[in-house]
Amino acid sequence: MKVAISGKGGVGKTTLAGVMSRILAEQGYKVLSIDADPDSNLASAVGIEPGKLKDIHPLAQMKEFIEERTGSKRGAYGSFFKMNPKVDDIPEKFSVSKDGIRLLVLGTIPQGGGGCFCGENVLLKSLLSHLFVERDEYVVVDMEAGLEHLGRGTTAYMDALIVVVEPGQRSMQTARQVKSLADDLGVKRVYIVGNKVVAEPDVTMIKEHLEGLPFLGYMSQNEKILEADKLGVSPYDLDDKIRSEVSRIIEALSQHMLKK
């Protein structure tokens, strides 16, 4: 299954991506976790020790590697470069592993004008297309709200786009914007997950304001998540409740997939 997770900054999408990856790996699946958020925190949400990350650099910052694979040259505006660079070896070459999970950090695509048609853009979008189409493991992508890393060809092979929301107007407005972007990209399966839920009225509010989008479940307001962040560990390792809630979300998503 290939899943991308999006939402407003601070809403809990990285928590969901990290805990989901750990649960799927615990169930015996091979999991590739992709950090495609400029505010890269997925490693800690997965529970990868900081020492393992010292040699890992976001792909978008690896200028010499990008030049090698795409033929692009720094400062050579308007130059020609490969539109289908070799990417199939990247997950093994530039990831770190933990308990059946590979973590790969993409970094930020440079922006300019109406978007950057550059070597970084081509490499990262080609990589995501390869991961969604060719890889046989679970792929979980922690996106930013803007979906800049996705292209129309990529989304055809995405099983689900999950938008994480909290019970607040700004978060739900972001969810509507993400849905609009997803529609533009041809994403057909968009789902909602609630976070920071205190009581049932919070769930009701989310469902009413985002009517028409399937609701997979929610994660409760949980002090253990804040504690995990302070300790630099995954919430998966501290709290049974978050594990149970995300397990139910995965099950609900699987049931939706069976109906398609």
pLDDT tens digits, residue range 209-245?
999 999 999 999 999 998 998 888 899 999 999 999 9
Give CA 242 to chain center in angstroms. 18
CATH number at residue 184: 3.40.50.300
Mean of per-residue pLDDT scores for the chain: 87
- Residues shown for the chain: 260
Q: pLDDT, tens digit, for every residue of 83-140? A: 788 999 999 999 999 889 999 999 876 554 344 547 777 888 888 888 888 888 999 9
Residue 187 reports pLDDT greater than 60: yes
pTM equals: 0.90
Look at the block and give the residue holding tokens 């092979």. Answer: 157
Look at the block and give the residue holding tokens 């048609």. Answer: 117
Residue 153 reports pLDDT greater than 90: no
- Give the Cα separation of 15 and 254 in Å (integer): 19
What average pLDDT score do residues 196-216 get? 95
For 92, the 3-state DSSP assignment is helix
- Whole domain around residue 53: which residue ranges? 3-259
Output the pLDDT for position 114: 40
What average pLDDT score do residues 36-61 get? 86
Domain count, the chain: 1
Is the pLDDT higher at 204 or at 62?
Answer: 204
CA atoms lying within 13 Å on the CB side of residue 204:
3
The percentage of residues in the chain with a pLDDT greater than 90, rounded to a whole number, is 53
- Burial, 31: exposed, middle or buried (Cβ in 10 Å; 0-12, 13-18, 19+)? buried
